[in-house]
Amino acid sequence: MASKKPENMTFEATIDELDTIVEDLENGDLALDDALKKFERGIGLARAGQSKLNDAEQRVSILLQNDDDAALSDFSSQPE
């Protein structure tokens, strides 16, 4: 079964898979090539998770702004 791209996964699924990878790597029973593949996947998951957290933090910050006169605008997770 092919793995989903980290950016297409939910934050919770990203963390769950990352936890599994960390356990596998800490166990130390993997061949070097397998360990490197899991490490690479883990790095991708960690980056995607951090991006999702940054997006959530930005959304919360926007929602908590105290300026009632500010114009409303759509949230975009992509930098312009």
pLDDT, tens digit, 9 for 90 and up, residues 16-39: 999 999 999 999 899 999 999 999
Closest to 3 in 3D by CA, of 63, 50, 53, 45: 45
**pLDDT grade, residue 45 (50/70/90)?**
very high
pTM for this predicted structure: 0.72
- Report the alpha-carbon distance of residue 56 to residue 53 in Å, rounded: 5
